[in-house]
């Protein structure tokens, strides 16, 4: 890194991660331990073998990137495992000074041993809560030297996923034998939206957002409109994986059909050459207007650099990533990890990559981090959020290099 001040600054400041999948972020040692305990077979018997065969430094395509999830999800089928993984995940984030965390996962992939959606969400919530209690009761937080930790859970509906990976989807395909495949996925999404709102309202579970993940190309967000309308009508915030494996029209759909408050990735936001519909006569004009809307509405972009580099074969180097354009257009962009294990990364590392490839100074790094605090779907209300953002900015300012 060119600027040593920037590296140290990035390590020390309070940070956020608004886009990170729990099932892609286990400690590899925990995966090995849980697999041994539960009799789950893994393609390697130690960390080195798993890194060589599954959690690679480089992937050749998206299917290879996704292959690891079948093993992580397999050990996340009971409450104790879910709680432990969530707690360790929060602790790993706390250790690198992440102070606001929104973790996402698809509860419907964790029902293979009969857990209900409620049991799954409660277990993850308990794990995060115990890490929070420990951090927030420390002397440093109590005397104001350190920022308190806050978190939320984002539930992921799935555009499409291998139905065989989940008992939930297998059952649903059995009870809807004549329905087209996409109707089954959209029914699952609606049920998830209903369960999420109910658990938030009745049990005060920390569910702060609703997401759509899974294969984007060929599975448009509009198929999940009912679920997103349900979330929308019940004041649940929305984020959508969009513009990761499809062009600007997917982002348009996320904003108009799903009422997205934030966008996951939005990597192809500026890609006029990826506009498919022939009804759009001037793709560049369409993209300009889309960017303008994202800017004016302060739609926060959840940027995942390493993950994009690993899953997009057309991207040869991070220098080609549109983060520079996002910053230039003054969009609200924040740096996230997507998957800490699968992408071998941390928030610190992703911010360092951003600083390095886009030659950012500490003030620009600060903007990316503050965008994360401001973009948070904070669960304790707007006034508390404003006070927390203020507190975070004060902490960052104290660490600003002169």
Give catalytic residue positions.
Answer: 244
Query: Based on CB atoms, which residue is closest to Zn ion, 35 or 353?
Result: 353
* DSSP states along 52-96: HHTS-SS-SSHHHHHTTHHHHHHT--SHHHHHHHHHHHHHHHHHT
Nearest to 174 by CA among 166, 341, 4: 166
Least distance (Å) between residue 159 CB and Zn ion? 12
Strand, helix or coil for residue 149 = coil
List the x/- string, 282-321, binding to Zn ion by CB under 5 A. ----------------------------------------
Query: Based on CB atoms, which residue is closest to Zn ion, 254 or 360?
Result: 254
Nearest to 6 by CA among 267, 300, 368: 368
Least distance (Å) between residue 262 CB and Zn ion? 12
Which residue matches tokens 């929104």?
Answer: 102
Are 80 and 115 in contact by the 8 Å Cβ rule? The answer is no
Query: Based on CB atoms, which residue is closest to Zn ion, 148 or 375?
Result: 375
Query: Based on CB atoms, which residue is closest to Zn ion, 69 or 230?
Result: 69
**Rounded CA separation 343/304 (Å):** 10
**How many C-alpha atoms does 266 have within 13 Å on its Cβ side?**
34
Q: Find all residues with CB under 8 Å of 305, minimum gap 6, and list them.
A: 318, 321, 323, 335, 350, 353, 354, 357
Least distance (Å) between residue 64 CB and Zn ion? 16
Tell me the sheet residues that pair with 105.
155
**300 is written with which tokens?**
């926060």
Indicate the residue whose CB is closest to Zn ion: 338
* Contact positions with Zn ion (CB under 5 A) in 225-264: none
Least distance (Å) between residue 18 CB and Zn ion? 11
Query: Based on CB atoms, which residue is closest to Zn ion, 9 or 105?
Result: 105
Angle at 179 between CA 175 and CA 180, to 5 degrees: 135
Least distance (Å) between residue 300 CB and Zn ion? 14
**353 is written with which tokens?**
């990559």
List the x/- string, 320-349, binding to Zn ion by CB under 5 A. ------------------x-----------
Burial (Cβ within 10 Å: 0-12, 13-18, ≥19) of residue 273: exposed
Least distance (Å) between residue 338 CB and Zn ion? 5
Query: Based on CB atoms, which residue is closest to Zn ion, 6 or 108?
Result: 108
Size of the site for Zn ion (CB under 5 A): 1
Q: Which residues contribute to the site for Zn ion (CB under 5 A)?
A: 338
């Amino acid at each position: 890194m060119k600027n040593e001040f920037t590296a140290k600054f990035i390590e020390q400041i309070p940070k956020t991660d608004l886009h990170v999948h729990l099932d892609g972020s286990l400690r590899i040692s925990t995966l090995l331990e849980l697999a041994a305990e539960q009799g789950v077979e893994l393609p390697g018997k130690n960390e080195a073998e798993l890194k060589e065969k599954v959690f690679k430094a480089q992937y050749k395509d998206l299917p290879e990137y996704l292959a690891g999830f079948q093993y992580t999800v397999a050990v996340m089928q009971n409450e104790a495992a879910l709680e432990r993984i969530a707690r360790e995940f929060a602790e790993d984030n706390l250790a690198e000074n992440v102070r606001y965390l929104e973790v996402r996962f698809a509860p419907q992939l964790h029902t293979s041993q009969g857990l209900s959606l409620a049991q799954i969400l409660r277990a993850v919530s308990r794990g995060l809560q115990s890490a929070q209690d420990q951090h927030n009761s420390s002397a440093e937080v109590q005397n104001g030297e350190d920022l308190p930790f806050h978190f939320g859970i984002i539930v992921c509906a799935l555009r499409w996923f291998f139905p065989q990976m989940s008992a939930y989807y297998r059952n649903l395909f059995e009870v809807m034998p004549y329905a087209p495949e996409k109707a089954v996925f959209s029914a699952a999404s609606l049920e998830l939206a209903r369960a999420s709102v109910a658990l938030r309202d009745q049990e005060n579970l920390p569910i702060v957002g609703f997401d759509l993940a899974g294969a984007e190309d060929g599975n448009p967000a509009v198929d999940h409109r009912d679920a997103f309308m349900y979330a929308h009508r019940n004041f649940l915030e929305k984020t959508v994986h969009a513009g990761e494996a499809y062009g600007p029209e997917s982002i348009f759909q996320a904003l108009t059909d799903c009422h997205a408050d934030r966008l996951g990735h939005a990597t192809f936001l500026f890609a006029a050459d990826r506009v498919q519909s022939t009804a759009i006569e001037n793709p560049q004009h369409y993209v300009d207007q889309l960017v303008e809307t994202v800017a004016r509405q302060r739609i926060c972009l959840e940027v995942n650099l390493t993950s994009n580099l690993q899953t997009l074969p057309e991207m040869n180097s991070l220098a080609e990533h549109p983060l520079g354009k996002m910053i230039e257009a003054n969009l609200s962009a924040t740096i996230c990890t997507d998957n800490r294990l699968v992408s071998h990364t941390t928030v610190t590392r992703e911010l360092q990559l951003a600083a390095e490839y886009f030659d950012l100074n500490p003030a620009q790094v600060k903007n990316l981090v503050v965008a994360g605090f401001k973009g948070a779907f904070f669960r304790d209300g707007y006034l508390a959020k404003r006070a927390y953002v203020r507190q975070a900015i004060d902490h960052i300012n104290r660490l600003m290099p002169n």
